[in-house]
Structure 1
């Protein structure tokens, strides 16, 4: 049994006239009869009553089978439509990891909004995830795309493109002595208590903090490690220390905290989109195209 035989039967059931159906389907009447006969042979039952002296009618079995044939054809049409959408990347699934800065910069919501406008049938599985875990999940195939902090090297099979860069600043309590300065010199941070989000990595912000210490002539060792930037900002607002943060963290700043640029400190935080270099589904490729189209370099 194939879809062509089902279409022939349904058309005949609608017209109850072999010549008319053959014309509508643009096939020879002999071909029409042959398709119906093959279908009846496969099913082992006659579906249509037909003879030269009486009108064509559905048998009892034909009436029952018609309903199932209609459902089957609708499902086939839907499957074909979904398949075409999937081939164009407009249907399927995308698993996405992101770091907090993807939210604070507006990159994640902007990318999702534009992607949904073009591919509303794609299912998104979105997870907040630290950069190291994203890279591990991308390498293992558990993640399709990651919005993360860029790295000098990536695991085998993983590639990345920088989407944006942002200034690094010092966040500190509004009543901190250094808050009175419009710009903070690195050397002025010699005795500061640095609160550092612990991301279980030596690259990224850990490197940024080390380079700040070298520029100021001191060892910028973390005084306190916390789980994330929000916790660090809350502690800084309470006077426990200062935090080196991307500028976009201003969007989540608690009360009683200020942000100050660092004089002569050129380093920036880079936000990148990472993905597997091979074997990406069309829906994943479409998402990557959307993210790359929103690059702000």
Structure 2
């Protein structure tokens, strides 16, 4: 089996075309250098160098072809060594990030990426739009490394989430909606409205928000449309299919025909959290989580033991 030392010895001889000079540069005995070259030739089954005591060393045809590949192989080995050392310090590798729409519209994701790129420019970043339930599945399976999620009351085992941003809520509706005429709406104004909301099951999505809204206004909200994300919800609302309660940052999503109004008498915190695996092995991922959380003064949400 050819090893890197044999390749380095061979390339050194080719560069100097002299065994004694190459041995001096490599700081090895000439006999040891000659033995390694002979062993290399035996390994691959062909003579690479023409040796003549009275003439300079020359390359055979096979030697010229092998030399080009040997140089390329050594460069790959050197690069692999550098990448391995950088990866051990979290300065190389891949970080796969999932994010809900609000992670983008709020600027949270861009702040994290900008901060991380300053000191970890060689780490490759992959970002995928993904709703909260799917992100937790992907974190557990290893499909993604970090998630910007809507925190749940209970997270999957081994996943820790830290709140990084809290927003107030707005109501999004079509520009020609009756409630759009006022600068704000009250909870009771929403009593007879048809609601659109991201909804996945009874414990996730925005069902908790609608329940709290109904309690505050003394009514049971009518959920007309269940969708998978706020983008779909806002698209339906702009077309007049109903109203949608959204985080404040979603007003940065400019959908034609939509308007946003604050809810004057309803204060309900809407959180974004950074989620990751508690026992993360990748130095690059650990560095991303550490640097991202340093940007915020969040509250850590415990995960099940």
TM bin, normalised by shorter chain, reads: 0.7 to 0.9
Show the counterpart of 2:263.
Answer: 262
User: Could you report, residue by residue, the CA deviation over 1:47-97 in whole angstroms, capped at 9, with x for unpaired residues?
Assistant: 434454443333454334323322222222232233233333343333322
Aligned to 2:292: 291
Distance 2:107 2:217 in 1: 32
CA distance in 2, matches of 1:190, 1:271: 27
- Cα deviation for residue 11 of structure 1 reads 0.8
Corresponding residue number in structure 1 for 2:19:
18
What is residue 237 of structure 2 aligned with on the other side? 236
User: Please, what TM-score do these two structures have when normalized by structure 2?
Assistant: 0.83
Q: Which residue of 1 aligns with 2:150?
A: 149
Distance in 2 between residues matched to 1:37 and 1:221, nearest whole Å: 84
1:194 aligned counterpart, secondary structure: strand
Residue aligned with 1:270, SS: strand
3-state DSSP class of the match of 1:153? coil
TM-score (norm 1): 0.85
- Measured against aligned partners, the alpha-carbon deviations of 1:103-144 in whole angstroms (never above 9, x if no partner) come to 211223343444445445444443222211111121222222
Distance 1:259 1:114 in 2: 31
How many equivalent pairs are there? 297
Gaps of 5+ in 2: 299-305
Structure 2 vs 1, CA of residues 148 and 50 (structure 1 numbering), >3 Å: closer, same or farther?
A: same
- Closer, same or farther: CA 28–165 of 1 in aligned 2, 3 Å: same
Q: Aligned partners of 1:259, 1:180: CA distance in 2, in Å? A: 11
Which deviates the most, 37-46 or 200-209? 37-46
Distance in 2, matches of 1:200 and 1:95, equals 26
Deviation (angstroms), 1:25: 1.7
2:171 match:
170
Cα distance between partner residues in 2 of 1:172 and 1:59 = 79
Question: Counterparts of 1:16-95 in structure 2 under 5 Å?
Answer: 16-50=17-51, 52-95=53-96
